Structure 1
Amino acid sequence: MAKGFYISKNMGLAGLLMGAVAGVVIIALAAVYDKEKTKNQNKPVDGVTTVSPTTSSTLSTPKNPWEYYRLPDSLSPVSYNITLWPRLVVNASTGLYIFTGQSDVVFRCEKETDLILIHCNKLNLTLLSGHRVRLTGLDGATAPNVISSWLQVKTEYLVIQLKGKLAAGKSYRLSTDFQGELADDLKGFYRSEYTEDGVKKVVATSQMQAVFPVTLIHQRGTVALSNGRDVETVNTTIDGAEVTKTRFEPTKRMSTYLLAFIVSDFAHITGSIENNNVLVRIWARRKAIAEGHGYYALNVTGPMLQFYEGYYNASYPLSKSDQIALPDFSAGAMENWGLITYRETALLYDPASSSVGNKETVLTVVAHELAHMWFGNLVTLRWWNDLWLNEGFASYVEYLGADYAEPTWNIKELIILYEVHKVFAVDALASSHPLSRKEEEVNRPDEISEMFNTISYSKVLYGSPCSRPSPTARFYMVLHSYLNEFAFNNTVYSDLWDHLQKAVLTTPGMSLPHTVHDIMNRWILQMGFPVVTIDTATGHITQKHFLLDPDSVVDRPSPYNYTWMVPIKWMKGGVEREQHWLLQETAGSEWVLANLNVSGYYRVNYDTDNWERLINQLTADHTVIPLINRAQIVDDAFNLARAKVINTTLALRTTRYLSQERDYIPWESAIRNLNYYILMFDRGQVYGMLQVGSSYNMIYQTFTVAEVLYNQINAISFACRMGVERCRVLTSVWFREWMLNPDHNPIHPNLKTTVYCNAIAAGGVEEWDFAWTMFKNATVATEAAKLRSALACTKVPWLLNRYLDYSLDPAKIRKQDCTSTISYIAHNVVGMPLAWDFIRARWSYIYTEYGGGSFSFSNLINGVTRRFSTEFELKQLKQFKEDNAGVGFGSGTLALEQAMEKTAANIKWVAENQEQVMNWFSNECT
């Protein structure tokens, strides 16, 4: 799935989180051990004997087979033949949107058993009256009768009790007819609604290892999509209803979570991969397609697929590649094989109103999802504890695919900002976790949801040369052999190490100090990363587990005592030196720079003299130091200062040279780190000094005429944030011009986010109401997203409280956007305490209504608590945890622990550094 969205996204179904197809009764199945059986009383429901288990499911230690979230291996699915009929109009008798369907699952019994468990995400789903579960033996096997069945609410199973036992080695078919609600809950098979030209329209959509022949029955005039190409479409009449029946080619053998089916009246545009008969289509609302919003995604998809075929040395495995933009989608995107689903903002690009940032988002998200077609889909991880094997690799390769499609953007350099620096911030906490956890640590849906985090997406590519693939023919061969051996199957991370080790042993002249397993397991099986300290006077080098709060206690044991095999790629006096695993050379009077081009996953500290030499070199001629390392020096220095390794003043001095810097990456690195100072001090007297500091005013003066586009955007945004009057006036004037002529927006798309926010912040009710109207009338998703974010910028408390209430009203704010809207309000210094009070008062409702497994809960908690830096706020956090222990925090559980850890660290940092920071900015202003 798309990186950048995993914190604010929900996979859209609980069943998916357990490897299940969503929204179908027969989703994933397995029989379980026969020694534990139900003793409950039977009763008939909807013509089927069902059982309601009593108390065992609430026990902390599961006793019955159906109380375990993870399916055992007693049964092995061979194929799922699924027919679904979603109704896109309200059922007259129930008042609900419903779907009906049939399922035939062929499976093989691996271990003798008399129980069948079926993951059933839609627990309001019922087996149709008069149609019992039907079990048939194949190839001479005798099928036992079904005694009873029931829905197990907590673990979301349909449990089927058999009178006799299934025989090991025999195959069977399980058939059902079912009905369920097509709800708007963003889970499983759900309903998405939108209005186009004043007409309300409905989409039926889903997110879901076996082969899947799929048939969809749908209203005439609509189109049906699934993973395979459609092979037959006929109009027919069923129960008096004139419908269309679309049958799809059977899928490749694949994981159940990759299954998808969609019914809509969307339109599409078409392309193909050169020299390969692969159909490429972009689907979206008819108006969006008619206005050309799908062309950018279509134009980059073909080149990316061609690039990946060469990179993986494997052809695209399917006959077609559909990509579809959905009005309601809780994730950013989902890599369903052959039918990738996206939020509209992640797939559609409108040249007239979307910014270059929106274009970059489409490019990188599409690149990420297409990378999964091989790494993740063709070869899939065995269990969610190794999620990084899917997502981390895709996060790396997306930059290569995006660079191929847009070679002039130099997008590969941004990996340092978007991945390395981001993951450093999380992995420096004592509450971090290893890339790979033990399987028994990741079982419940919330535990699986927690794996979709920055660590899994961004850490995997760093740590040693083995973990950052070099574009060599040898590495391509490694990928090809790995994908070829495990195609249509599952792997664990050590399988990849095996193939890399083969490459080392068979490549002339290539050697490593230890095996690939020995090197990489230190980065995979223990959390965190080292700070490498280099004494340039002696050449002595040491490493230590880097913790943002050096006083924090690390409770998680490490198999390697938190030491790593660190590759040292370095330069001396501007000359690149040979890579070492240990630095032995003294520096003399020349400066030394380690971790050249940030090729390793570690921070670097130096002796004081070398820090001074580096700062002097930046001032004299910063271009001698590589671009990426200029950003690294700033980021390392600020974080080392936060960890009390170096002085805060030294870190601040690394920014002085920036008046000469014209590249985006070092500036962005500095602004992100200075943002921490703003968050810590924007409620106190130090902030006044920050606002008048010459270092910040010069940003606006220097970069309003800069050639680098992102620097222009940063300059205006940061200047406005720091209270530069000229910026406030300019943004307000532009916004007022739009208010006077709503049909003509004079604001450049690249500046809309900044202008909207600052004009609303400087304005009042009139500006807010105008923006709200424009938001509700927006037909382009990226435009609506900018306005939704900007509405949170007002400084009027009652408007913010009203907006918080709107966030829980699906008629005003789509469910997919609820938690991010609250987070936007919390980013506002005025809105932060209001948002905190709001979620504390309504946590039970938010948790229940928006799903205990929602990925966005971690983002919500992080967003609301990012400013916390007082003992009172820490006490409130602890009380919040205690008050809601019975409710739970879902995917936000770890985020809450980390919020308390970060708050405690912030309290200490502010107390120890407030005076230093004030004095430094005071001196800079004089």
Structure 2
Amino acid sequence: MGKGLFISKTVGVVCVVLAAGAVATIIALSVVYSQEKSKNADVEPTSGGTSTAQPTAQPTEPPSNEPWDKYRLPDSLEPEFYTLTLWPRLQKNTDGLYVFTGKSTVRFRCKKETNLILIHSNKLELSLLDNQLARLSAVSDPSPPRIQKSWLQQETQYLVLQLTDVLKADQIYELYTEFQGELADDLGGFYRSVYTEDGVEKVIATTQMQPTDARKAFPCFDEPAMKAIFNITLIHDQNTVALSNSNVLDEFNTTEEGIDVTKTTFHPTERMSTYLLAFIVCEFDFENRMEGDVMIRIFARKKAIEAGQAEYALNKTGPILKFFEEYYNSSYPLEKSDQIALPDFNAGAMENWGLITYRETALLYDPAVSSNGNKERIATIIAHELAHMWFGNLVTLKWWNDLWLNEGFASYVEYLGADYAEPTWNVKDLIVLGDMHRVFAIDALASSHPLSSKEEDIQKPAEIAELFDAISYSKGACVLRMLSNFLTEPIFLKGLQSYLNAFAFGNTVYTDLWDHLQAAVDSSGMALPNNKKVHDIMNPWILQMGFPVVTIDTSSGTLTQKHFLLDPESTPSDFIWDVPIQWMKTGDEKPYTWLHQKEELNDQMRITAEEWLVANVNVTGYYRVNYDDKNWDNLLNQLNQISRKLPFFQTFYVIVFNHNFSNSRANIVPTTRALQTTSYLSKERNYMAWESALDNLDYFYLMFDRSEIYGLLQAYTRRQVTPLFNYFKTITDTWTKDPDGHTEQYNEVNALRMACSSGLTECNELVQNWYKEWMTSPDSNPIRPNLRSTVYCSAIAAGGEEEWNFGWQRLKEAAIAIEADKLRAALACTTKPWLLNRYLEFTLNATQIRKQDATSTIVYIANNVVGQPLAWDFVRTNWQYIFQEYGGGSFSFANLINGVTKRFSTPFDLKQLEQFKEENANIGFGSGTLAVEQSIERTKANIAWVNKNREVVKSWLESELSY
């Protein structure tokens, strides 16, 4: 699944700038990707919203050792193929509900004798067949048993069938069911999406199965290792189009139950997992193009297709598909590649084989509205999903505990695919900012978790959903990038291609990839250090949480490593990693060296007074670095002197900024040393340098924007950013054109964002005038797309109800979701509490804020220093309702908890958070359980850091501003 927003995985960055009261906060929504829990009629919001009753199920028996009380399927049955017919009703029935009906036959082989059939079924009303909930027949057994008893086990989501006799080993049987389900707006399973076109409300029936919601669409063996072939038929209104994973086999008009319908049957799928199934009924249009033997189609609302919003995706899909065919040395395994933009979709995108689903913001592009960042996000998410067509779909992990390999790999190679499609962007460098430093902040907590868990530790749907986090996506990407780098790409690719060829249409565990990479190493003649194997080097990175900080003493040449933890009061583990160190001395790049033990000596790493040394040169290693004072001083001196012709000059800034700031937060280096790295920024124009600095300064704003230090921080930031503001003013002809270069355009946004948020009068007058000009002529927006997020936010923050209402109206009328998203984020920037409270209430009403956007809107409000306490109170007050809507299985839910608590830095904050955990223990936290623990740990670390550094930071800023 794609990173959402992609999150992630974000590549979508939303700037929240407050002209009064707070500074910008950059939010990267992890391309998190999932389904939301169905509504419950017993839980009501404080205001707004709607509720839908749940299907009735058998009451759960007390926990037992019975097979139906276990969350994993027994290994006695193996599906071969399904024949499935579904009929979604796109109009309400007499009860006011949208429903779908279905019939399913699954043919399965009995592997071990058993008198029990367990098959997943959740929130489906099953019809009685011969007084049972299913009908069993035999294909090869002449005397099949009968069903003696059948029921639905709600907790473990099974249809349970007890038989009169045993199913015989190696015999083939078929199980037939008829059922009805609600086509709810819960964004999971088979659900409905709604939009308005030409004043008419249109309903879409669509799917999101990953990870455990195929069982909401039909009874199935809903585990990734239970691969099968699927024969899909959709019955649908005659004015609609039906889509599924395969091409259409047959389509004709007919009558069902007295209603004129179309019946569309699709070719059998390849052998695949249930979570990759997709079927959609809609009134969309499409653009198409052949790429070799593959038909590429981009589906979207008819108005979006007419406006040409699918053209960019269509133009880039072919080249990216071609790139991955060459990268994997394997032809695309299907005849078509459909991609569809959905108005309601909780994830960023989903890699359904042959029918990839996206949020509209992740697929549709309009150069008149979409920013440079929007375009990059579309390219990288398309690359992420197409990478999965082989890695994940063709070869699938056996169980969700190895999710990291699936999502981490796609999150790594998305940069390679996007770089091929847009070679002038140099997008491969951005993984350091987009993934590595994002995940460092989480993996530096004692409450982090390893990439791979034990299979038995991941059982429940909520536990599975919790794995779709930054660790799996971003750390997975960074660790695999490190592996590719030290093996070299030719060897990495040889092993990868061998792995895909060996396990095509099958399932694996992550160590299978290590085996094939080791074989590639052996055949190349390459020797890994200390004669170790790939397994030996990589397993500590996979099975241990966290990462090391490597300290290099350039006086003695001593290298040491220890577990890096942000909270200095946390007890570091005794973990040891094999650390590949790519390094350079005074501009001269050296061969790799390795750190295997806690402490080792490398005499070559000693330096003279004039020399400097930098390790992890291209930031390919997943670790932080610290140095002795002499080398730090020499490195800081290089910030003004380093040649921009050197290939590593951009990452040099990243190393110096991020390692200094992060090490200071962990009490490894003094905070003043970290702040010193920002002193030269007034002379700097490089994006990587500015982005690294601002990303780290953001923490200072979060900790001090409610204190007297905020004014000093604003004055200092304003002084440093003003030259950058003036630079872009000049090269853009007073803000009338985009700068040349991909990252130059990003840095223009940084200049405007920080100049306005730090109180530069010229900047604030500029953006307010642009917004007022737009308010005067709503049909003619004078603001360039790249600058809109910043301008909207700054102007709304400086304005009042009139500016807010104008933005709200423009959001409701936006013809493209990308523009609506910018306005949705900007509306959270107002400093008027009553407007923010009204906006919070809108998140409980899907007619105001779409359900897919509810949690991120609350987080936007919490990013605002004025809105943070309002959002926190709102979440606590509505916890039961919010949890019921999003908690059990939504990947966005952890983002909500982290987002509303990340500013916490006082004992009072901590007490409230711990009380929140205690008071809601009976309700639970679902997929946000770990996020609660991480928020508590982060708050404790923040308290300690602020207590230690408040006066230090204040004194340093006062000293800097005195001259």
Conserved 8 A contact 1:8-1:859: no
Deviation per residue, 1:85-110 (Å, 9 max, x gap): 1111112x332111111101000111
Local SS of the residue matching 1:619:
coil
The structure, 1 or 2, with the larger RCO (C-alpha pairs under 8 Å, 6+ apart) is 2
Conserved 8 A contact 1:313-1:479: no
Conserved 8 A contact 1:82-1:101: yes
Query: Which residue identity does 1:231 align to in structure 2?
Result: L
- Residue number in structure 2 paired with 1:538: 556
- Residue number in structure 1 paired with 2:592: 579
Supply the distance in 2 between the matched residues of 1:452 and 1:603 (Cα, whole angstroms): 24
Conserved 8 A contact 2:32-2:469: no
**2:675 counterpart of 1:657:** no
Deviation per residue, 1:845-883 (Å, 9 max, x gap): 111123511111100011101110000000000000001
- Residue number in structure 1 paired with 2:214: none
Supply the distance in 2 between the matched residues of 1:241 and 1:895 (Cα, whole angstroms): 49
- Residue number in structure 2 paired with 1:35: none
- Residue number in structure 1 paired with 2:638: 617
Local SS of the residue matching 2:322:
helix
Conserved 8 A contact 1:51-1:149: no
- Residue number in structure 2 paired with 1:41: none
- Residue number in structure 2 paired with 1:64: 66
1:716-731 aligned at under 5 Å gives the runs 716-731=752-767
Which residue of 297, 302, 314 corresponds with 1:286? 302
Q: Which runs of 5+ in 2 are unaligned?
A: 9-29, 39-54, 210-226, 596-601, 732-738
Conserved 8 A contact 2:435-2:478: no
Deviation at 1:703, TM superposition (A): 4.2
- Residue number in structure 2 paired with 1:872: 908
- Residue number in structure 2 paired with 1:821: 857
Query: Which residue identity does 1:689 align to in structure 2?
Result: L
716-725 vs 682-691, greater mean Cα deviation: 716-725
Query: Which residue identity does 2:627 align to in structure 1?
Result: Y
Deviation at 1:705, TM superposition (A): 3.9
Deviation at 1:68, TM superposition (A): 1.7
- Residue number in structure 1 paired with 2:495: 478
Deviation per residue, 1:650-685 (Å, 9 max, x gap): 111112232333221121011010010011000000
Deviation at 1:579, TM superposition (A): 1.1
Q: Which runs of 5+ in 1 are unaligned?
A: 16-45
Local SS of the residue matching 2:297:
strand
Deviation at 1:375, TM superposition (A): 0.5
Conserved 8 A contact 1:14-1:121: no
Query: Which residue identity does 1:723 align to in structure 2?
Result: G
Supply the distance in 2 between the matched residues of 1:845 and 1:469 (Cα, whole angstroms): 49
- Residue number in structure 2 paired with 1:266: 284
**2:2 counterpart of 1:2:** yes
Which residue of 813, 837, 848 corresponds with 1:801? 837
- Residue number in structure 2 paired with 1:344: 360
- Residue number in structure 1 paired with 2:108: 107
Deviation per residue, 1:15-46 (Å, 9 max, x gap): 9xxxxxxxxxxxxxxxxxxxxxxxxxxxxxx9
Deviation at 1:829, TM superposition (A): 0.3
Deviation at 1:698, TM superposition (A): 4.0
Deviation at 1:51, TM superposition (A): 8.8
657-666 vs 181-190, greater mean Cα deviation: 657-666
Deviation per residue, 1:181-219 (Å, 9 max, x gap): 111111210111000110100000012311101111111
Query: Which residue identity does 1:748 align to in structure 2?
Result: R
Deviation at 1:117, TM superposition (A): 1.6
Cα 1:798–1:72 change in 2 (3 A) is same
Local SS of the residue matching 2:640:
helix
Conserved 8 A contact 1:260-1:339: yes
Query: Which residue identity does 1:395 align to in structure 2?
Result: S
TM-score by length of 2: 0.89
Query: Which residue identity does 1:764 align to in structure 2?
Result: G
Query: Which residue identity does 2:656 align to in structure 1?
Result: I
**2:372 counterpart of 1:372:** no
Which residue of 409, 424, 430 corresponds with 2:425? 409
Conserved 8 A contact 1:704-1:715: no
Supply the distance in 2 between the matched residues of 1:193 and 1:465 (Cα, whole angstroms): 43
- Residue number in structure 2 paired with 1:842: 878
1:545-624 aligned at under 5 Å gives the runs 545-553=563-571, 561-582=574-595, 583-585=602-604, 586-589=606-609, 590-621=611-642, 623=644
- Residue number in structure 1 paired with 2:726: 701
Conserved 8 A contact 1:51-1:148: no
Supply the distance in 2 between the matched residues of 1:262 and 1:851 (Cα, whole angstroms): 26
Cα 1:162–1:129 change in 2 (3 A) is closer
Deviation per residue, 1:289-338 (Å, 9 max, x gap): 11100010111000001000000011101111000000001111100000
Query: Which residue identity does 1:700 align to in structure 2?
Result: F
Which residue of 329, 351, 364 corresponds with 1:313? 329
Local SS of the residue matching 1:107:
strand
Supply the distance in 2 between the matched residues of 1:817 and 1:629 (Cα, whole angstroms): 37
Supply the distance in 1 between the matched residues of 2:666 and 2:303 (Cα, whole angstroms): 52
**2:541 counterpart of 1:523:** yes
Deviation at 1:618, TM superposition (A): 1.2
Cα 1:713–1:894 change in 2 (3 A) is same
Deviation at 1:13, TM superposition (A): 6.4
- Residue number in structure 1 paired with 2:826: 790
Query: Which residue identity does 1:647 align to in structure 2?
Result: P
Local SS of the residue matching 1:213:
strand
Which residue of 665, 687, 711 corresponds with 1:642? 665
Cα 1:418–1:779 change in 2 (3 A) is same
Deviation per residue, 1:889-918 (Å, 9 max, x gap): 111111110001010000011111111111
Query: Which residue identity does 2:176 align to in structure 1?
Result: S
Local SS of the residue matching 2:108:
strand
Which residue of 88, 91, 100 corresponds with 2:90? 88
Query: Which residue identity does 1:304 align to in structure 2?
Result: I
Which residue of 398, 404, 407 corresponds with 1:388? 404
- Residue number in structure 2 paired with 1:243: 261
Supply the distance in 1 between the matched residues of 2:130 and 2:183 (Cα, whole angstroms): 19
Conserved 8 A contact 1:869-1:907: yes
Supply the distance in 1 between the matched residues of 2:624 and 2:751 (Cα, whole angstroms): 28
Conserved 8 A contact 1:450-1:891: yes
- Residue number in structure 2 paired with 1:466: 483
1:226-237 aligned at under 5 Å gives the runs 226-237=244-255
Local SS of the residue matching 1:527:
coil
1:37-52 aligned at under 5 Å gives the runs 52=58
Supply the distance in 2 between the matched residues of 1:392 and 1:107 (Cα, whole angstroms): 33
Count of residue correspondences: 881
Deviation per residue, 1:779-819 (Å, 9 max, x gap): 21001111111111110001110100001101101111110
Query: Which residue identity does 2:171 align to in structure 1?
Result: K
Q: Percent identity?
A: 59
Conserved 8 A contact 2:36-2:885: no
Query: Which residue identity does 2:659 align to in structure 1?
Result: D
Deviation per residue, 1:811-851 (Å, 9 max, x gap): 10111111011101000000000000000011001111235
Supply the distance in 1 between the matched residues of 2:396 and 2:346 (Cα, whole angstroms): 23
- Residue number in structure 1 paired with 2:19: none
Query: Which residue identity does 2:883 align to in structure 1?
Result: Y
Supply the distance in 2 between the matched residues of 1:769 and 1:89 (Cα, whole angstroms): 33
Structure 1 stretches of 4+ moved >6 Å: 128-131
1:908-923 aligned at under 5 Å gives the runs 908-923=944-959
Local SS of the residue matching 2:935:
helix
Local SS of the residue matching 1:206:
strand
427-436 vs 147-156, greater mean Cα deviation: 147-156
Deviation at 1:161, TM superposition (A): 2.0
Supply the distance in 2 between the matched residues of 1:602 and 1:788 (Cα, whole angstroms): 36
Cα 1:134–1:763 change in 2 (3 A) is same
Superposition CA RMSD, Å? 1.9
Cα 1:622–1:422 change in 2 (3 A) is farther
Query: Which residue identity does 2:617 align to in structure 1?
Result: L
1:881-920 aligned at under 5 Å gives the runs 881-920=917-956
Query: Which residue identity does 1:588 align to in structure 2?
Result: T
465-474 vs 868-877, greater mean Cα deviation: 465-474
Deviation at 1:14, TM superposition (A): 7.1
Local SS of the residue matching 1:340:
strand
Conserved 8 A contact 1:82-1:215: yes
